[in-house]
Amino acid sequence: MTDPESPAVTPPAGALRRAAPALLGYAAVRALGLAVLAVWSAADGTSAHRLLSERWDSLWYTRVAALGYGYEVRLPDGDVHSNLAFFPLLPWLERFGHAVSPLSYADAGLLVAALASLAAAWGIFAVADLVHGRRAGVCAVLVWAVVPIGVVQSMAYSESLFTALAAWSLYAVLRDRWLTAGLLAVFAGLTRPVGIAVVAALWVAAITSFVGERRHGGSTAGTYGAHAWRRALAMIIAPLGAAGYVLWVGHRTGRGPFGYLDVQAGWRNGFDGGYAFGRFVAEKFTSFPSALAGAALAAGVVLILWLYVTGVRQGQPPALLVYTGIVVALALCASSYFGSKPRLLMPAFPLLFPLARALARLRPSRSALVLGGLAAASAVYGAFWLNGSGPP
């Protein structure tokens, strides 16, 4: 359901002016987070730059950018960690940035993350503005910025890049710009496995639109035909990114369509419907100290489900609900790397729209106070987290 105050189609300059408060607020939150991280890291004798660009998954991405695919690590327990698990768009962009500038692969990754995070913020604003209005759009961006693990948005990881592509693809779907949506879905599918969520959202929206036009007689024959072929072409091209990479991995490993699943199994990562995660949470209740963590995890899952149901009740478009539902399902039902689940949920930005609407109804001074406090807490937590266990 589109908010009556949502914008009409505007030129880029006008759209940028409309989004400016959200983008400026987002940049301020990220700057605060990076400043706290720099101070904390210096006091801890570590390098904020290294934490952001040269640890955990960022190392795997830069190895792909520098050396291509084929690198793997064999662990003592027999597991094989292959860099084929990492989709190629971010390494391609890192390689391009290194080729056209003096930046290292790691620093090119940081630049991509910085630009992509701003693009993601703008895309989130555009979607929320269209669905719920401008104030809710600004609040949605700021809530996304202040999530506890928001510092990942500034790391040489693929979350910001994927969220930007997903948000703008969904915006294009909501605007009936089918070819743009399909092309962005291709790139989203080359960024992360969860790109299938963008494809599914596009397919559902296209089929719903097609059925609706047929049921109501469509418009003129020429306009109906133009819309129909654009939708059909978008549905065809949307899965090419994800499917192309998965099939290429299958060919390279000699396992056909199952090759990528074998690669993920080497990382002990798979889809088990949430059984392993549920057991992990349940085991936390075996002793008192860990029971607090178990209660927090259970409360977090309940909150996610409540936000999703609230989005349904508030009339979010089917494309957003399908996208969010798949992102959440894939994040919560993966069988390994439980510490990474908050990071995997980061692209599910429509979950935040109910919170954004609630903040938008407050007086500006109160919403600013709430968001300012959350921004400070997020900055401190991000610095503590990266100087500790960090994101798997």
Distance CA 228, CA 222 (A): 10
- Of the candidate ranges 68-72, 174-178, 290-294, the one whose mean pLDDT is the lowest: 290-294
Q: What is the pLDDT of residue 9?
A: 53
Query: Can you spell out the DSSP letters for 69-114?
Result: S--EEE-TTS-EEEGGGS-SHHHHHHHHHHHHSS--HHHHHHHHHH
pLDDT at residue 291, rounded to an integer: 85
pLDDT at 214 over 80: no
Res 392: pLDDT: 65
Residue 193's CB: how many other CB atoms inside 10 A? 19
**Residue 333 pLDDT > 70, yes or no?**
yes
Please report which confidence band the pLDDT of residue 175 belongs to, taking 50, 70 and 90 as the band edges.
very high
Structure confidence by residue, pLDDT tens digits, 75-124 = 888 889 999 999 999 999 999 999 999 999 999 999 999 999 999 999 99
Closest C-alpha among 267, 358, 359 to residue 25: 359
Looking at residue 256, its pLDDT comes to 86
**Which two tokens mark 224?**
């109906």
- What the block records as the tokens of 304 is 């996610």
- Asked if residue 106 lies in contact with residue 156, where contact means CB atoms within 8 angstroms, the answer is yes
Q: How confident is the model at residue 219 (pLDDT cuts 50, 70, 90)?
A: low
39-43, 63-67, 225-229: least confidently modelled range: 225-229
Instruction: For residue 187, name the pLDDT band (cuts at 50, 70, 90).
Output: very high
Least confident interval from 42-51, 235-244, 268-277, 383-392: 268-277
* Closest to 205 measured CA to CA, from 327, 318, 312: 318
- pLDDT level of residue 149 (50, 70, 90 thresholds): very high
Buried-state track 121-147, b at ≥16 Cβ within 10 A, e below 16:
bbbbbbbbbbbbbbbbbbbbbbbbbbb
The pLDDT, as a whole number, for residue 307 is 97
pLDDT at 3 > cutoff 60: no
- The pLDDT score that the predictor gives to residue 1 is 43
Burial (CB count <10 Å: 0-12, 13-18, 19+), residue 299: exposed
Alpha-carbon separation of residue 150 from 77, 132, 255, 286, 339 (angstroms): 33, 23, 37, 31, 15
| DSSP-derived 3-state class of residue 271 | strand
The torsion angles phi and psi of 80, rounded to 5 degrees, stand at -125, 115
The domain spans of the chain are 12-386
pLDDT value at residue 279: 85
How does residue 391 score in pLDDT terms, banded at 50, 70 and 90?
confident
Residue 118's pLDDT is what? 98
Structure tokens at 29: 């939150």
- 284 within 8 A of 297, measured Cβ to Cβ: yes
pLDDT band at 227 (very low <50, low <70, confident <90, very high): confident
- pTM beyond cutoff 0.75: yes
Predicted local distance difference test score (pLDDT) of residue 2: 44
pLDDT of residue 213: 74
Give the per-residue pLDDT at 4.
41
Percent of the chain with pLDDT over 90: 75
DSSP helix/strand/coil, 314: coil
Answer with the residue of higher pLDDT: 141 or 258: 141
Burial of 63 (0-12, 13-18, 19+ CB in 10 A): middle
Separation of alpha carbons 355 and 245, rounded Å: 36
What pLDDT is recorded for position 225? 64
The whole-number average pLDDT for the span 204-210 is 93
**Higher-confidence position of 319 and 388:** 319
Instruction: Write the CA distances from 335 to 87, 128, 318, integer angstroms.
Output: 19, 32, 28
Q: What's the average model confidence in pLDDT over 245-256?
A: 94
Q: How far from 226 is each of 2, 204, 206, 222, CA to CA, in Å?
A: 24, 19, 13, 6
Tell me the pLDDT of the chain averaged across its residues.
91
Please compute the mean of the pLDDT values over residues 171-178 and round it to a whole number: 96
Please state the φ and ψ torsions of residue 82, each to the nearest 5 degrees: -105, 145
User: Does residue 226 surpass a pLDDT of 70?
Assistant: no
The pLDDT, as a whole number, for residue 216 is 65
The count of C-alpha atoms lying within 13 angstroms of the C-alpha of 229, restricted to the half-sphere facing its C-beta, is 5
